[in-house]
Amino acid sequence: MTQTISSLLSLTALSFGLFSLGCKTECEKINGRTVCTTESLTQYLGTPSFQKADWSTGQSISVGINGGNVRLGSTAATVVQVLAYDAARGYGANQVGVEFTPVVAKTAEQRSAAIQEMNELLVLSLTSTPGQPVQVAVTRSEVSDSSLSASVKIFLPSAFDGGISIADANGQPTKGGILISNVPGPITAWTSTGDINISGARSEVNATTSAGDIVVAGAAANVRASTSTGDITVTEAAANVNASTQVGDLQIAFAQRVGKEATGEIVTGNGSISFTVKQDSDFSVTTRSRGEVIATTVPATWQAAGENSKQAKSFTANAGSTTPWRLDNSESAGNTNNITLTVVP
């Protein structure tokens, strides 16, 4: 049976978040001259609504959110939160619960337009079809202000064993921050603006943002993380890690021994790299930096392999890696940040 819960908002009251955003600038030709006027924008928040839908063992969750390029100052607001089962929310142990909070950015004089757009144009839906992912969607019924959207809090079933995928409703990156905790299945998080914070991941993680930081804590499987502008931190890693940023620092740390088959590339165009690994790992690594490669804690039993200079070092520990790890921040001539390789007991 397919279960669909879809609603057009009926807003008799609004909870307003009167946050100062950017500015709206409009220009027009007057007597052959271009005249521009600028007005401050306000973020309007609608009253949250809650929906629930049945879930079956093995079902994953797919999230698609259109719009929402609303920024609080210089930081994109969190648009998706994935949270543990919470019986107090009033949904069943074998259901998915979702709280939707409408949002739109307008000028102070456009209060009525904000209410109308959230009431008439925003469509929130939660769909469950056996054998297919549970669908969480935020769409607009017609072309409208690109900031019109909704943030969502997804409350998982008590025995959730699936994965989660987050983008927009058209399979492109969403806008805004993403927060995910304790999802056992594969995680895909894709946003164009905002931070991604993932904790307690028990399967593969793919996290991509164009402008924001990425934090993955407690990764039990492979991690792939990429941002254009921002830092990446992966703690308690246990398998392959591939992390790249054009501008930002990278910090990777392993919670346990690294196996021979594990590998990865840790690359920043302009930033530092910190890489921490256990001493008993089967590990090979090549490093290259325009700053300095600092490896003062590397045991004497680790063999220097290949180049061994101030800006490039290679090591093999124990049985080595099948494919050597690569740490590199040498691509930009202006990047004089260091690479620090730390070995711990």
Give the pLDDT band of residue 285 (cuts 50, 70, 90).
Answer: very high
What's the length of the chain?
345
Which of 82-91, 138-147, 294-303 has the least mean pLDDT? 138-147
Average the pLDDT over 157-178 and give the result.
87
Of 35-39, 133-137, 151-155, minimum mean pLDDT range: 35-39
Residue (of 41, 101, 98, 104) closest to 67 by Cα position: 104
Classify strands 164-167 and 134-140 as parallel, antiparallel or unpaired.
unpaired
296 or 275, higher pLDDT: 275
At residue 311, the pLDDT reads: 93
pLDDT of residue 140: 82
- pLDDT attached to residue 39: 61
- The per-residue pLDDT for range 62-118, each reduced to its tens digit, is 999 887 655 433 345 678 999 999 999 999 999 999 999 998 888 888 888 888 888
Phi, psi of 166 (to 5 degrees): -130, 125
Question: Exposed, middle or buried: residue 36 (CB in 10 Å: 0-12, 13-18, 19+)?
Answer: exposed
